Amino acid sequence: LVWESWVPLVRLAVQRWHSRDPQPLVAFLELWRPLVPPWIMQHVLEQLVLARLQAEVEVWDPLTDTTPIHTWLHPWLPPLGDRLDCVFPTIRNKLSSALSSWHPTDRSAKLILLPWQEVFSRGSMCAFLTKNIVPKLEQALATLPITPHNQDLTLWRAVMDWSDLLPPPQLAQMLSQSFFPRWLQVLAGWLNSTPNYEEVVGWYSGWKSSLPASALPLPGVADQLSQALHMMNRSVSGGGPLAGQPGALENVRYMTSREFQAGGVGAQAGQDTGNKNKFATVSEAVKTAAQIPQGFKDLIGRRCEERGIVFRPLPGRWREGKQLYLCGSRQVYLDRNVIFVMEGGSGVWVPTSLNSLLDRDA
């Protein structure tokens, strides 16, 4: 009786239903759920509702549709559950195309993606951000003007606004590669021009306070801040360019001690830091900062060499047109500045951070 009399009426209602207004149909089906056999409700949800939603997603255009897609899809998450996953790849593909000309100063991209943070799987969201957002953020950081005076932070704030969506290790790696080398170079050049040490301390503190707290203790950030502190200490010590300024040595040393006691930076000034952060003079710091590898492949090779890990191309081996490399015992390939590694023998390639890759093969 239900199949012959109720289902046809529901089918007609679904066909006439305005998909951008999900609540009436969601409430109707929830009301009837205890009264109809489970297999009939499953048929309605999968063959009628889900099919209609799939058709609506196919014609959805993120550039012209004024109704955010999450407002009419997310109400179906409780009744449909994992069955709604079938439309997610289409949504990501359409968003990816819409982001082709996006610039980080446009906040609309984050407003669209934020509601999907807990809906897309962690791996899917990470891969999407890595492909569509991170390269634009890296480019913004690479072109960000860095100056000791009258710093414009508009672009910086636009990039840091993504810190709650990006995994902290990925954010730290992005900063380490695209921001800190130039930042340290500017600091080194400024120290060589004999500035007021108070201005230098304020500049360092201001930049550190603008970094997300979640990224501060990570190596890609903590090591760079430690390097800056070492440079500042050497500039006020011995024959350094700021050594003659009254109170410079005491105040910089005090700030450095306070920084290391608070945590979030690398080895304390005066301690052995191995092959990192050891500059005899400020001019040596400028030279070293300029020699930090800019190519991502060169960076991986340098880090592998430091850890004694083999990193070499696999002759004649390609993945999606990209050269395959052997990194330790694992096969990887690079897509722009993203490392993809094969998970065991599954044949599945997943994005990973440089630190995670190196830690696995250490």
pLDDT for 219:
81
d(CA 15, CA 28): 15
The helix or strand, by DSSP H or E, that contains position 342, with its residue range, turns out to be strand 338-342
DSSP per residue, 287-331: HHHHTS--SHHHHHHHHHHHHT--EEEEEEEEETTEEEEEETTEE
Structure tokens at 38: 């489970």
Distances in Å between the alpha carbon of 243 and those of 28, 49, 68? 77, 74, 59
Residue 83 scores a pLDDT above 70: yes
pLDDT for 355:
78
pLDDT for 291:
40
Mean pLDDT of 121-134: 91
Task: Express each pLDDT in 188-225 by its tens digit.
Answer: 888 888 888 889 889 999 999 999 999 998 888 998 99
Residue 260 in contact with residue 268, Cβ under 8 Å?
yes
Amino acid at 23: Q
Q: Is 0.75 topped by the overall pTM?
A: no
Distances in Å between the alpha carbon of 271 and those of 46, 227, 237, 252, 274? 64, 12, 15, 16, 9
State the residue for tokens 């993120």: 62
Residue 309 in contact with residue 358, Cβ under 8 Å?
yes
Distances in Å between the alpha carbon of 130 and those of 64, 123, 124, 137? 25, 10, 10, 10
Mean pLDDT of 67-88: 93
pLDDT for 279:
39
292: confidence class by pLDDT, cuts 50, 70, 90: very low
Residue 283 in contact with residue 292, Cβ under 8 Å?
no
DSSP per residue, 43-102: HIIIIIIHHHHHHHHHH--TTT--S-HHHHHGGGHHHHGGGGGGGHHHHHHHHHHHTTT-
Tell which wins on pLDDT, 177 or 244: 177
Query: Could you say which DSSP state residue 351 is in?
Result: E
The helix or strand, by DSSP H or E, that contains position 263, with its residue range, turns out to be none
Residue 121 in contact with residue 74, Cβ under 8 Å?
no
3 state SS of 278: coil
CA geometry: angle at 318 spanning 177 and 342, to 5°? 65
263 burial via Cβ count (<10 Å: 0-12, 13-18, 19+)? exposed
Mean pLDDT of 4-13: 82
Residue 207 in contact with residue 265, Cβ under 8 Å?
no
Kindly give, in sequence order, each residue whose CB lies less than 8 Å from that of residue 260, ignoring residues fewer than 6 positions away.
229, 268, 269
Lowest mean pLDDT among 3-7, 25-29, 68-72, 158-162: 3-7
d(CA 241, CA 189): 11
Residue 53 scores a pLDDT above 60: yes
119: confidence class by pLDDT, cuts 50, 70, 90: very high
Share of the chain above pLDDT 90, in %: 38
